[in-house]
Structure 1
């Protein structure tokens, strides 16, 4: 299984989270510079022209790009605090590579996130309910950062639902 992991805006995939993901497959975690442009799905995928990703996982800005990539390649996504409500929907429109059906998404939102407003994300998702199978968990005490134990729990649950 090939896992595309996309880090957030001033972040990287740390060794502990990489080890958790490596239990499920080969991890591709590009080092992305978001300073010039936040939405970069085409640039990210261009780095892997011969790689078929089975799942997409992202956090914050990486979750935003992961949402778009998941739609484009038709693969499931696990998204932590994606800032979906901050950008115009036109920026999300990419030609899908596959038309095999909806790409299911599992989201974890922090109720106390002071970086990405979970209400904006929920509003965006409610406006696009016909587009995806969604599973949304809101942790009322969670801020923007995802603690290791919660990351491990969500990753385990996400992969337990897949038939790979």
Structure 2
């Protein structure tokens, strides 16, 4: 299994989270500069279209990119606090696609997130309905914007068990 992990705006995949993900498969975690590349989703699609990506996992800005990339690549996705309703003033083009999501998407939202407000994210997600796939939405009352290893591990485990 190959997992494509998309980090947030100014973050990287931590060694502890990489080690956890590697128990499920090979991990690709490209270093991305969303500010310098307003076409990051298209860039990622072109870079990985000939590889067998089985799962996309993204956090924050990586969750935003992962949401649309999973649609383009027809791949299941697990997204943590995705920057769907707004992108922190970072311009990112959303590629046109007539495809619908055809694989499971699990979105984890932190009720205490002050960077990407849960209410804004939920409103944006519900505006995208109806989905043609399984959409799981988890709202964690204690979660802020950063994803602690314990929550990351729990949500990863739930996601893979549900596939």
TM-score between the two structures when normalised by the length of structure 1: 0.88
Closer, same or farther: CA 158–8 of 1 in aligned 2, 3 Å = same
Q: Which residue of 1 aligns with 2:161?
A: 160
**Superposition deviation, residue 140 in structure 1:** 1.4
* Aligned match of 2:96: 94
Q: CA deviation at 1:116?
A: 0.7
- When residues 60 and 3 of structure 1 are mapped into structure 2, their CA distance, relative to the original with a 3 A threshold, is same
| Residues 149 and 26 (structure 1), Cα distance of their counterparts in 2 relative to 1, 3 Å cut | same
Residue 77 of structure 1: aligned partner: 77
Provide the residue aligned with 1:148 in structure 2. Answer: 149
2:40 equivalent in structure 1? 40
For normalisation by structure 2, the TM-score amounts to: 0.88
- Unpaired stretches in structure 1, ≥5 consecutive residues: none
Contact 2:105–2:135 (CA<8 Å) still a contact in 1? yes
Query: C-alpha separation between the residues in 2 aligned to 1:57 and 1:112?
Result: 21
Alignment partner, residue 127 of structure 2 = 127
Displacement after TM superposition at 1:93 (Å): 4.2
**C-alpha distance in structure 2 between counterparts of 1:138 and 1:116, whole Å:** 13
**For 2:107 and 2:80, how far apart are their aligned partners in 1?**
6
CA contact (8 A) 1:72 1:94 kept: no
**Equivalent residue number for residue 62 of structure 2:** 62
